[in-house]
Structure 1
Amino acid sequence: MKTAVIVIFLLITAKAHAQTTIVEGKVTDGKESLPGVTVYTDEKNATGTDADGNYKLELPQGKATIHARSLGYAEVIKEVVLSGATFRYDIVMTPLSTQLSSVVVSAGKFEQKLEEVTVSMNTIKPGAIEQFSDNSIESAITNVTGINVNDGQANIRGGSGFSYGAGSRVLVLVDDMPMLSADANDVKWSFLPIENMEQIEIIKGASSALYGSSAMNGVINFRTGYAKSEPVTHITQYTGIYDSPARREIKWWGKNTQMMTGANMFHARKIGNWDIVIGGHYLLDEGFREGETEKRARANLNIRYRFKKVEGLSAGVNLNYMETFGGLFIIWNDDTTGAYIPSGGMNDSTTTLSIYHTKRFNVDPFITYVGKKGFSAKWRSRFFRTANFNNTDQQAFADLLYSEVQLQQHVEKLNLTVTGGGVISDGGVISDLYGSRKTYNKAIYAQVDKKFFNRLNISAGGRYEQFRFRYNKPESKPVFRAGANLRLHKATYIRASIGQGYRFPSIAEKYVKTRVGSIVIYPNDSVHSETGWTAEIGIRQLFSMGKRVSGYVDASVFRSEYKDMLEFAFGQYGDLFNDPLFGLGFKSVNIGNTRIDGMEYELGLQIAVLKNLNINIGGGYTYIDPQMSDFDSLKASTGTVSYNFLKYRYRNMFKGYAGVDYGRFSFALNCRYNSFMENIDKVFNELIPGIKQYRSEHDKGDWVYDANISYKITDYLTASVISRNLFNHEYMGIPSQVEAPRMWLFQVNLKL
């Protein structure tokens, strides 16, 4: 009897093994192997590719549907019939390299197709940076529909005005973690490592439910990259010359030549289970405004180790360091010969020019675990230090400590993703401007994303956050968001979303006291947080005409409302007898409730005319109507218009691009239009020479064009001639800062 049982057991075991097949293969992009790709049939049968792109699955024999998914690549779905002991299936994935079909992470903290997210989003690829030799991200994001940058502050769909370098309603992230300084909550675009850029993802609208304070107006998430299977080296060198301005009388440099030169370097490789990325950048800019020079150098290092014994477990650290020397131009001397000369000239005793030296660095350790059954856990942290020195005895040292734990479960069978996490963040400042200050922040968040019938995506989430200044009572804010995306037809997607936002005031907004010429900025310890919400309805239509033409059209309408909006306002805040201008100046105040209605349209078109001739055309238009909800004549009296329109906004914006690739030649053209900035603080007309006259003569809006002509000398070497501000148009952003004249650049790009 015992022998019979053993025989039966062995037969059953043999039969069970005979009914499974080992599926193995390699995943590539056609050239390089791809590590970290998820290969699965369902949540019970899943794996990830190793460092060399290899995978292995044991599956039941018979019919099976194999999926392969990875960020930035189109999903591969293959039906196979399995029989025998082994089955070889090598997978080739296609990069999603265009705005037409991209994969994004920021909308829900997991991979989604751009057309399936519930909010309006844009992406920027590394090629857009290289094409126009942008030496910071600021230049690149100004070409995104609905976005402009005033004096370094990003403004999405009119959500922000001009804040004098303090506070931001757009949260800038690097690898999903905030990169705003602890003192002013501002971003220095030049600090972001453009040499190691995988993708920039931009969310338009309130996003505080996932990302917290400062995400009131949207999110810009800068994502760095890691090594692929083959070593990669990129080196870009560029040299430029500032052309003479259209008005020769404002050319202060006479017969001299004002130049700019810089370089970016990037190297990535795998060494065993180590992924290593090294990057560097330098810039020498003599400037077009007198005294506003810049010398900077940046170095960064990304290291990741993938553990052999625990599949899916990795740990590493990212580091970035930058040092900058330069001059900061604040106010012009006048609108005639002094438009590019600082107020007070270059005399040390009278000039408003600030000479600065800054140091910034961040250290980001992390641990990530990605399981086979859709579970992932991440711990991310950041230490971010800024040190600012200048010749006006206004030094500031600020530290930010950030730590986040995120857990996520994806259930493939249910098309369900659940994400949750917690954040602790502390900031500390020692400064002549603000004194010694500390902030404390902690939050928990959760979001659920569910797909129904392979057509309808539903997303809902919330966050509870507490914030306080040292010695002050804490403020707490619960916020929520919800959205839906419905695929009506094969390529027609309708989305709708509503999200709440909030922003706690920065240390600078509460405590700063400084002076620029005769203009004084006063502290306001009583200023409190602002809250709001954004709602949007949009439609995105993908289309193709044969095999040669493809594109998309996107349209949306939106509304944003803000309660107790924080902005700097002019008034009598100082001592009537002892302070300049009888105590008149600026300070951060809660100006009241505001509302911004608007609409936005985008078009992208790709045409394959011939085998080696391709054309890309596109652009977008944004209209906004930003108003005070509780408008009265007293509030209007501080501005340059008497009607209801928020300060420092553009009512109409247009961004366009065109590109032609023919063999080894390529040509690209970008254009952007901002309508006239209707409303600014009236005091600028009265205190700064020439502002009123200049604005009256330049009130038709501004068209600015950039162009690039490139030739691919070899498969590795490309040379380009670039023109920024191609038609040498003179225009002004914020009051008294006329922007750069035409610049000619020569660039060489080496890719090995």
Structure 2
Amino acid sequence: MSRQSTICSFLFLVLVFLLFSGDGYSLSKSEADASLYQVLTNADNLTFAGQISDENGDPLSGVNIYIERTRQGVASTTDGSFRFMADVLNTDVLIVSMVGFESRRFLISEIRDRSETLQIVLTQITAVSDEVFVTASRISQLTGTVPVSFRSIDAMEISSRNLSKLDESLRYVPGLTISENQVSVRGSTGFSYGTGSRVLLLVDGSPLMGPDQNDIRFTAIPMSQIQRVEIIKGPGSALYGSGALGGVINLITKPIDSDSEIAIRTFVGIHEPTTNSIWKRHWEEAGDVRFFGGAEFSYSDVVNSRLGLRFNGIYLGDQGYLENSRGYSVQGYLKLDYKVSDAVQIDIQTVLRHHRHQIFLYWNGKNDPLRYGRIALGNFSANGKSYTMGQQATLLPTLRHVVNDQFYYHIRGRAYGIQSQPLFSDGSKQPKEKQIKGLRYGAETEFTWLPGVANSSLIFGGTADAIATDAEIYIGTDNERLRNQPEYAVFAQIETMPVDRIRVSGGLRYDAYHIDTQDIASKLSPKLNVSAQLTPNLLLRTSYGQGFRVPAISERFVNSSDYLPLEPNMDLRPEESTGYEIGARYTTSFRRSLRLTFDVVGFQNDYKNLIEPKFQQQIIAFQFLNLTQASIKGFESTIDGSEVSGKYNFTFGYTFLDHEDVNSNKPLSYRSDHQFIAGGSLSLFKHFQVGVDYQYLSEPEKVDTDFSIFIQDASESNDKHVVDLRVSSKLDQLFFRNNENGNVTVTLKVMNLLNYYYIERPAYMARPRTYEISVQVRL
């Protein structure tokens, strides 16, 4: 029997166990709100009912209440109440447990004769984080129970760093690397000019990838409107389908607060001019001070008992630090929440964006890296600059219906359209035939059942999506410019605790893709996670999962000689990955004031049919080819610490990769063996906060030399040492001591403090030292 068949059989057995084990049930909220009592119904059958709260008297929902011997029980409802019937013996024990709180045990012989409601208070364990994480299992979990490698960036961190784009926050995540517009998780991606991302971007659980290039747009949602960024490290296709080959990034947007709020932020900065005399000699503007900046307005309010809204408008402008790198963008964001009833809620998010950018593609050599390159090779000539104007529109509606305390479902829609208009150097439009138009649209239905037995859940559903593009650049060997790619999928996931402290999660997803409405590519993706909560502070975990990625339209059909000679490849096959990991997470406290979390994990990811751009001598052009069967092994360790009152925090992360092209027994291109990240922040004198971050990436062992055929010194690379510094102060607190809110915040940032010159991706110099000052006012 194959490994895949064995896993499928196991998951089926888990499903059967979940559906037919236990007979606990939970009453609706209206019934739970009635006067609760404990009644002796017969010698062996009791009705257990009561109320659960924390030390502050606040009700706790999702607490597991069950009989230890039989596992019969329920989870507490949103108001902390519970009620269930069970056959018991006098020697049985009633367990009340929730991760992050100390469990309580009650002997049946001691409580069976009580006539009053059980009033149970749980004490929180200081050392365990009580943050919520959704992406790992499509359901809310406390971070202390997540069975896979993950990272979360909360709104406080986003605000303290004063970030405007998503990629700026991802640079501080251990195990992630950013190469201009491309994200790699633990070496999953080398370099392919941003097309065909192996990391999937979600917004509140809905995929949001470029329709033509299947790329991540870092401006998809304004950073000020994000509650947290959740990152899964490792294949996630069993839950989210194609694109989650290497990992998943989920942007959880902010809810609409009960109090109205207005926020205004403006910032300005400069790129430090180069001091390199050779570079300045080649480009006369290299010694000039070049500015960047922006302005942002946000508003949120609850209009009435049913309707709430969030609005954001932001302008970003940049003169760039390279020749031909100026640009600006204007973006509007709107989120509406409408409460149809207590059980039904509709959310609608929409984003409109207009941009106009000069794009620097590749340099003119290592001695002239600030100017774009010029190519003259035989009959082929081109240059490394582009100038475009474009629009993007996003619509993300979601309906949530809570049928009862045990069952609810989501219906999510999505539509993401782009239009790109190439421009001549003087800013005038190129012919209309050069336009690129693309649309990705679809819907998903997701059902969640919480049977209330052994902390179990069952999630299942289906999706239907389509991609359509219209562009001259995608005319393939079939001479068609219209491209379509319908996609369908069904998925299911089961999570349960077969024994105390052991959590098992298994899932399957079947995807089918029509390649340009002709051929069909399908994939069955399983996953299995097992975690053991050995102590309240120590979690052991192991996971297995598969991922895949269907080639992007730009990889399969691109046909252009504007910047490099590129030819289509209609025979590209989907990429596949299989990931394994085993890890441990330990949380503790030092003198009850310092929270510490230690995480260590070993992993292995095997890849098949990796798509890479390669130069083909017979056609004298680049093509995207299925070249590589690869293996990436390694380990990762992180240490996070924070003072309970928020006075200081710190992070250390180290990732080691052992990567190999199985076919050639050589290292993979553009992967760094070592990554080290350190950072922290400290509150000083009550009114100032200082933060510092350090990033190190070792020089890649191997780079692809094919680009050097056309681009001078494209095979050059080096290591990366970058230090970022920031200082912020709440001015109104500083000058008006009686003001505790701190509504005016000033932040000074120095990025690349040491002004370390390094190559971010082939033939592209990373930004020099930059200075930025921002002012934010909340009303």
TM-score, scaled relative to structure 1 = 0.84
Q: For 1:179 and 1:712, how far apart are their aligned partners in 2? A: 36
Aligned to 1:334: 365
Aligned to 2:46: none
Deviation at 1:223, TM superposition (A): 1.0
Q: Does structure 1 retain, via aligned residues, the 8 Å contact 2:399–2:410?
A: yes
**Aligned counterpart for 1:266 among listed residues 288, 295, 298:** 298
Deviation at 1:127, TM superposition (A): 2.7
**Aligned counterpart for 2:687 among listed residues 664, 668, 682:** 664
Q: Does structure 1 retain, via aligned residues, the 8 Å contact 2:158–2:224?
A: no
RMSD: 3.5
Q: Secondary structure at the match of 1:513?
A: coil
Deviation at 1:295, TM superposition (A): 0.6
Q: Secondary structure at the match of 1:685?
A: helix
Aligned to 1:706: 724
Aligned to 1:599: 635
**Aligned counterpart for 1:361 among listed residues 359, 373, 393:** 393
Aligned to 2:675: 653
**Aligned counterpart for 2:437 among listed residues 397, 405, 422:** 397
Deviation at 1:58, TM superposition (A): 9.2
Deviates more, 1:225-234 or 1:179-188: 225-234
Deviation at 1:134, TM superposition (A): 2.4
Q: Does structure 2 retain, via aligned residues, the 8 Å contact 1:173–1:219?
A: yes
Deviation at 1:133, TM superposition (A): 2.9
Q: For 1:91 and 1:262, how far apart are their aligned partners in 2? A: 48
Q: Secondary structure at the match of 2:747?
A: strand
Aligned to 1:406: 446
Q: For 2:352 and 2:224, how far apart are their aligned partners in 1? A: 13
**Aligned counterpart for 2:574 among listed residues 529, 541, 544:** 529
Q: Deviations over 1:7-62 (max 9, x none)?
A: xxxxxxxxx969599999999999xx99x9779979878654xxxxxx696979xx
Q: Secondary structure at the match of 1:259?
A: strand
Q: For 1:75 and 1:689, how far apart are their aligned partners in 2? A: 61
Q: Point out where structure 1 has 5 or more consecutive residues left out of the alignment.
A: 1-15, 49-54, 575-582, 632-642
Q: Deviations over 1:100-145 (max 9, x none)?
A: 5532000001111223122100011123333333221011101100
Q: For 2:586 and 2:76, how far apart are their aligned partners in 1? A: 33
**Aligned counterpart for 1:438 among listed residues 484, 489, 493:** 484
The change in CA–CA distance for 1:719 and 1:211 in structure 2 (over 3 A counts) is same
Give the number of equivalent residue pairs.
Answer: 686
Q: For 1:459 and 1:373, how far apart are their aligned partners in 2? A: 21
Q: For 2:504 and 2:548, how far apart are their aligned partners in 1? A: 23
Q: Deviations over 1:80-114 (max 9, x none)?
A: 999999999999999x9x99553200000111122
Map 1:397-476 → 2, pairs under 5 A: 397-434=437-474, 435-476=481-522
Aligned to 2:252: 223
Q: For 2:676 and 2:670, how far apart are their aligned partners in 1? A: 17
**Aligned counterpart for 2:353 among listed residues 318, 322, 333:** 322
Q: Deviations over 1:719-744 (max 9, x none)?
A: 11100111111111112100111111
Q: For 1:18 and 1:501, how far apart are their aligned partners in 2? A: 48
Matched, 1:554 2:566: no
Q: For 1:148 and 1:99, how far apart are their aligned partners in 2? A: 29
Q: For 1:39 and 1:560, how far apart are their aligned partners in 2? A: 36
Q: Secondary structure at the match of 2:219?
A: helix
Aligned to 2:167: 138
Q: Secondary structure at the match of 1:326?
A: strand
Q: For 2:249 and 2:207, how far apart are their aligned partners in 1? A: 10
Q: Secondary structure at the match of 1:130?
A: helix
Deviation at 1:544, TM superposition (A): 1.2
Deviation at 1:573, TM superposition (A): 4.8
Q: For 1:191 and 1:357, how far apart are their aligned partners in 2? A: 17
Deviation at 1:383, TM superposition (A): 1.1
2:455 is matched by which residue type in structure 1? N
Q: Does structure 2 retain, via aligned residues, the 8 Å contact 1:195–1:281?
A: no
Q: For 2:569 and 2:651, how far apart are their aligned partners in 1? A: 45
1:438 is matched by which residue type in structure 2? N
**Aligned counterpart for 2:615 among listed residues 570, 589, 598:** 570
The change in CA–CA distance for 1:368 and 1:398 in structure 2 (over 3 A counts) is same
Q: Does structure 2 retain, via aligned residues, the 8 Å contact 1:368–1:378?
A: yes
**Aligned counterpart for 2:759 among listed residues 728, 732, 735:** 732
Q: Does structure 2 retain, via aligned residues, the 8 Å contact 1:481–1:497?
A: yes
Q: For 1:430 and 1:92, how far apart are their aligned partners in 2? A: 60
1:174 is matched by which residue type in structure 2? V
Q: For 1:17 and 1:262, how far apart are their aligned partners in 2? A: 57
The change in CA–CA distance for 1:381 and 1:359 in structure 2 (over 3 A counts) is same
Aligned to 2:419: 387
Aligned to 2:538: 492
Q: Deviations over 1:643-673 (max 9, x none)?
A: 7011111111111102111211110001111
Q: For 1:306 and 1:195, how far apart are their aligned partners in 2? A: 24
Q: Secondary structure at the match of 1:134?
A: coil
2:471 is matched by which residue type in structure 1? S
Q: Point out where structure 2 has 5 or more consecutive residues left out of the alignment.
A: 1-33, 40-48, 67-72, 85-92, 376-380, 424-429, 475-480, 734-741
Deviation at 1:414, TM superposition (A): 2.3
Q: Deviations over 1:229-280 (max 9, x none)?
A: 2223333221101112352543542564211111333222222111211122
Matched, 1:307 2:340: yes
Q: Does structure 2 retain, via aligned residues, the 8 Å contact 1:246–1:741?
A: no
**Aligned counterpart for 2:749 among listed residues 718, 722, 726:** 722
Q: Deviations over 1:331-376 (max 9, x none)?
A: 112322x31111249xxx9753111111111112221012442211
Q: Percent identity?
A: 23
Q: For 2:286 and 2:497, how far apart are their aligned partners in 1? A: 64
Structure 1 residue ranges, 4+ long, deviating more than 4 angstroms after superposition: 16-30, 36-48, 55-60, 63-69, 74-94, 98-101
Q: For 2:389 and 2:501, how far apart are their aligned partners in 1? A: 54
Q: For 1:660 and 1:39, how far apart are their aligned partners in 2? A: 35
TM-score, scaled relative to structure 2 = 0.81
